[in-house]
Amino acid sequence: MASTKVEFVLTCPAVWSDAAKNTTLQAAERAGMGSMSEIQMISEPEAAAVYTLKAIQPNHLNVGDNFIVCDAGGGTVDLIAYKIISLKPLKVEESAVGTGGLCGSAFLNYRFEEHVKNKLGHTRFDEMMHKKQKTWQMGLRYFEEFVKRNFNEDEHQEVNVPFPGLPDDEEAGLDCGFMIMTAAEIKEIFEPVVKEVCDLVQGQVDGIRQAGGVVSGIVLVGGFGQSDYLYRRLKSHFNSAAPPPYTERPTHGTMTTLQETASIEVMQPVYAWTAVVRGAVLRGLEGNMVISRKARYHYGTSYATVYDEEKHSVSERYWSPLWERWMVSDRMQWHIAKVSLNSIAMC
């Protein structure tokens, strides 16, 4: 390693503050990854976008298209939207400020645990957790590896989750070491979490449409992004629009309606669950394909200016020995407005 040149690219959730990013870079520097100026940092949805847009190019990309990348992981769901600026080389700009929420697949685990607890009763559930931990671990593992990924209410009328060692109990749904869960029960576990994801994506879609853009596709990546139920719900949500009423003379209002009701393709690229790390490697190898981003905050500097009795209150003024005149302080000069588009050199 001492003779091999290594460049580190760190990833972080989209919702992290600048302070959190800076703390991470400081920790990486102290860990021997190089100076803070040498270490690259990229948000997880941006890294996922780097990989996925490369993966689907050139079949689905056209200059001017807007794509939303939904990186659904274990704890968080992060979203970011890009507009295609050029194809060769592939260059994009942010078309909406990245958003995110705490609605990852771990919250399905919490809801599954509550379901089992309600079925068994708190006393029996606590007894299982203390005396038969492997029983619980086996049931949870099956839920994580099969139910979360493969559940489809059209194909699975019921699912048998293994809980070996628990006695039969018809009321609790226990039979021969399995807890029988109906499609309705599983849907009840999934739906509140999946609805939060749909609402987050809808927020990005609305933001782009309000700015006059058209969303061409939604790219679903991350571990939770492999969920068949989540994929089908997003497809249903964004492809359920009824056709607009026929008119012989299309107007601007008609075009707006078409844009607002147009269906959006939802895609799951190959290796989507490793999209973040693949995108981080591509960032290190090929550099930045994002040429501009939306500002997350207003940026400005404070300054002092000459007192003007028509603009300023007398109580605000002070005498400056340096300038030998009355001045007022704490004025603001705004350089970058929130949500404005800025080149990477300015970010």
Clarify whether residues 90 and 137 are in a common domain: no
Query: What is residue 335's predicted lDDT score, i.e. its pLDDT?
Result: 86
Tokens coding 205: 């879609």
The owner of tokens 């501009």 is: 292
> What is the sign of the dihedral through the CA atoms of 12, 14, 15 and 18?
positive
- Name the pairing type of β-strands 265-267 and 215-221: parallel
Exposed/middle/buried for 113, CB within 10 Å: 0-12, 13-18, 19+? middle
164 preceded by a cis bond (ω within 30 of 0): no
Clarify whether residues 91 and 113 are in a common domain: no
Segment 277-299 mean pLDDT: 88
Beta-bridge partners for 162: 178
Query: What percent of the chain stands above pLDDT 90?
Result: 66
Clarify whether residues 177 and 248 are in a common domain: no
More confident residue, 347 or 240: 240
> What is the sign of the dihedral through the CA atoms of 163, 190, 268 and 222?
negative
**Quick one: which of 151, 139, 133 has its CA closest to 177?**
139
Q: Which of 267, 294, 321 is the last residue of a domain?
A: 294
pLDDT score of 294 more than 70: yes
Clarify whether residues 80 and 220 are in a common domain: yes
Q: How many distinct structural domains can be found in the chain? A: 3
Segment 167-191 mean pLDDT: 96
Segment 295-313 mean pLDDT: 89
Query: What is residue 246's predicted lDDT score, i.e. its pLDDT?
Result: 47
Provide the domain limits for residue 280: 9-100+214-294
Residues whose CB falls within 8 Å of the CB of residue 33, separated by 6 or more in sequence, listed in order = 8, 39
Residue 325 lies in a domain: yes
Segment 175-186 mean pLDDT: 96
Residue 2 lies in a domain: no
Clarify whether residues 149 and 75 are in a common domain: no
Residue 201 lies in a domain: no
Split at pLDDT 50, 70, 90, the class of 290 is confident
Distances (CA, A) of 123 to 59, 133, 174, 249: 56, 15, 16, 68
Q: Which of 294, 309, 328 is the last residue of a domain?
A: 294
Residue 116 lies in a domain: yes
Clarify whether residues 247 and 275 are in a common domain: yes
Distances (CA, A) of 191 to 33, 184, 205: 42, 10, 20
Residue 196 lies in a domain: no
Task: Identify the weakest region by mean pLDDT among 8-12, 227-231, 293-297, 329-333.
Answer: 293-297
pLDDT score of 23 more than 70: yes
Task: Identify the weakest region by mean pLDDT among 46-60, 96-110, 204-218, 319-333.
Answer: 46-60
Clarify whether residues 94 and 13 are in a common domain: yes
Split at pLDDT 50, 70, 90, the class of 341 is low
**Quick one: which of 22, 27, 25 has its CA closest to 38?**
25
Three-state secondary-structure class, residue 300: strand
pLDDT score of 60 more than 80: no
Query: What is residue 336's predicted lDDT score, i.e. its pLDDT?
Result: 84
Three-state secondary-structure class, residue 267: strand
Clarify whether residues 160 and 242 are in a common domain: no
Residue 4 lies in a domain: no
Segment 15-27 mean pLDDT: 92
Residue 147 lies in a domain: yes
CB atoms within 10 A of CB 236: 11
Rg (CA), the chain: 26
Residues whose CB falls within 8 Å of the CB of residue 81, separated by 6 or more in sequence, listed in order = 66, 67, 68, 69, 94, 95, 96, 98, 204, 207, 208, 215
Exposed/middle/buried for 8, CB within 10 Å: 0-12, 13-18, 19+? middle
Q: What is the mean pLDDT of the chain?
A: 88
Clarify whether residues 68 and 151 are in a common domain: no
More confident residue, 253 or 28: 28
Clarify whether residues 183 and 317 are in a common domain: no
**Residues 120-167: pLDDT tens digits?**
999 999 999 999 999 999 999 999 999 999 999 888 899 999 999 999
Q: Which of 270, 294, 318 is the last residue of a domain?
A: 294
Residue 205 lies in a domain: no
Clarify whether residues 290 and 308 are in a common domain: no
Clarify whether residues 243 and 174 are in a common domain: no
